[in-house]
Structure 1
Amino acid sequence: MSTMIERKNYAAQCLLARGLNKTTIIAILCNGYHESGGSFSPTQQQIGGSAFGIWQWDRNLRQGEIISYARSHSEKDAIKWQCNFLVDNRPNQWIAHAGISWNDFLHNTGNRDWKWLTWAFCVSWERPGVPLMQSRYNAYNKVMPIDWGNGGGGGGSNIGGDTKPSTTTKKYPTMSQCMSLYDKMHPHNNNPENPDNNKPNPGGGGAVGGFDNTPCLAYYNTHHGHLYYSMPGRAGVYSGRSADCSSFVSYMLHLGYHDNNTILYTTETLHDRLKGLGYQCIEQGANRVAHHPFKTGDVIILGRRGSSSGAGGHTGICLESPKIYDCNYTSNGLKIYASGQAFLNWNYATNYWYHYTK
């Protein structure tokens, strides 16, 4: 599973992309934290009851659809679906007990603070028998701060309400960070590097005993937080400057098997590279449920072969069982997943996957 913070931030970004006011989003998240038991899981089942999802829908006219979609899709996809379902007010769930319309609530036309909006959402949309408002107010310190990502629309200045963080806590980018961003975005630095200008991969013809994760983990620890995601600059994986998902996995295979291969494979050509190394595909399919354990050296490829080029595919590698490592666009760099299943849950954009092992 992904973390609560990742789920919470993604829900906030989905709501912001729908044009909601940021203060309204905080109110909705305060309720979601309370209702989901602090998990923000789209498959959260009420203990001893029938309520379901992040906002614990119960006996909704489309209850079956809510449950079915969450259980048959990726975690990320289900979070987005439930956010859209809530915003679209399907079916008409809002009753203006707080004296404002659904549209006024979504856009905070009255410029209310988060606490009042949390109460308004609770009594007009949630409508619990016992509101337990203090629990929802306490959730504020659990959902803040929020990574708003690149979601569009929304906005609004009255985010904090009567417990708005002091202005001294606001962080501005340092000069070093600004220069780093300039370096990443400069056209010159997004041109592919010439592999001939980089250090050769360590030779040796293959690690004794199979895959050697020591140089791979050393690479990750050295470049995590510095290497950034770039398809045009995927050859930057050699210098630790930039990479895409498949160039990262390619280089991990080069390092792990101590060979002199300098080819940076794609999600399409990785299949043959793995087979050449003696790997076998032990599970594949459209149902993203892993049935086999992931050993160090195992590789996951997402996207049906023949249509997984570019954004149509993704890949990760197990560098320390059972954890999966990748380089991805969302993180703008390197990331670790607790398990192969967590990797499958979070990377939702493809409809087919492969598990390779030796």
Structure 2
Amino acid sequence: MYSTNAWLTATQQAINAKAIWQKLKAKGWTEHAIAGLLGNTHVESSHNPGIWEGLNSGNMSRGYGLVQWTPASGLHDWASGQGLSPVGIDTQLRAIDEDVLNGWIATSNYNITFSQFKTSTQTPEWLAQAFLLNFERPANQNQPARSTHARYWYNQLKGVGGATVTGNIEALIKWFEDRRGKVRYSMSYLRTGPNYYDCSSAVFSALIAGGFRPPGSALGTTETLYSLEGTLLIPISSNELQLGDIFVAGPKGGSSGGAGHTGVYYGNNQIIHCNYADNGISVSGIAGRTGSPLHWYRLRGARQTGNTGTEGTIDQETFDIRAVNNGSDIIESKHLIDLFGRRQREVRVEAENPEDLKRIAERLLNEQLEKVYQFNMSVADLSLLDENVEEIKLFNTYNISNELLPMYLRLQVAERSFSISNPNIKNITLGQRANSSTDYQVDLIRRSDK
């Protein structure tokens, strides 16, 4: 690393840029976001943490460092208070990553939070401009060259790891297999092992065993897994499944406790998971055992041994849909907006080109919820179910079909009740009614291709 009060040569810039790339990848930044930052540090400092604005060393009223914090005294005072050297690259990357000086202010053209910026898969060019306007805010804001530099560094460093944690799928699966039939299910304080686990503590324990999470890290919940989307967990579609992919089910923001479930894809349309139904770790089919809504993820940095005996790292390449979508990176569905209001979330899928990506996105939209159903019925009337009535379990999902309505639905058992005076009277609630047009949790997937 080079840190000096001078503009760096091309060779020196390449060394510093690579170090910044590796260190921020280890912090969970996407390659696109790092490239967007590098497009700016290329202009601001030549990726040099030791440079002063105008090379005027010690002038605390002007800019300093990688992003030219102004006044320089702000960075120096913060670093001093933390017992850190303001010259160090790690100090400055921490200051950027945590935005310790509250420099990020979203603008109307780039209306995203800094957290969203760090995990974004927008183009490096777009993210370079977002960082320029939301963080740097120079007097001259018309600087397309920063986007050009962002693309250059993205092309130079794409796929470079180094500081990025990688893990082993076989070790993750082995953790489950070694405990299959030997541990029991519990959501109490016993869930941290070694004799009891719940679904999420088992997945986190396996992630640690596989090297995807550091030893001693917390055994989180399904909500913790959702928070790793875009960093450790890369969204994929159900037709892309490979051994070791992770599923998380339940409404985002409301999947804790019994409302969510998680496990690992085991191949041949099977999952291995710690679950209440089997009171421990078991292998079962996917159908009816995951919960909904269901999300699949590929582990970033996963290593798998192929038939040749060599190891390869699983990664995902992305490209922009705007080329075939009138310049917009969002595909909207009028039907869904009318039904639920305007909602946005980022979905990553595998496609060969922008046209293919648009077709997949439109298909996913068409498969979204058409209506919200909730049924209350007695177990005696469950002839609609395609399952054995005696095996109906809370939070499991079942196919509901009725030619008279007509409908073909997949609903989750949300509630079960029994009559104290007459134990033969059993009732269940299937599905979940929406709370409002913009705040809803549903356990229904209506598939138009059924």
TM class, shorter-chain normalised? 0.3 to 0.5
More strand by share: 2
Structure in which a larger fraction of residues adopt helix: 1
Q: TM-score, normalised by structure 1?
A: 0.38
Q: Which has the larger radius of gyration?
A: 2
Which structure's relative contact order is higher, taking Cα pairs within 8 Å and 6+ residues apart?
A: 1
TM-score in terms of structure 2 length: 0.31
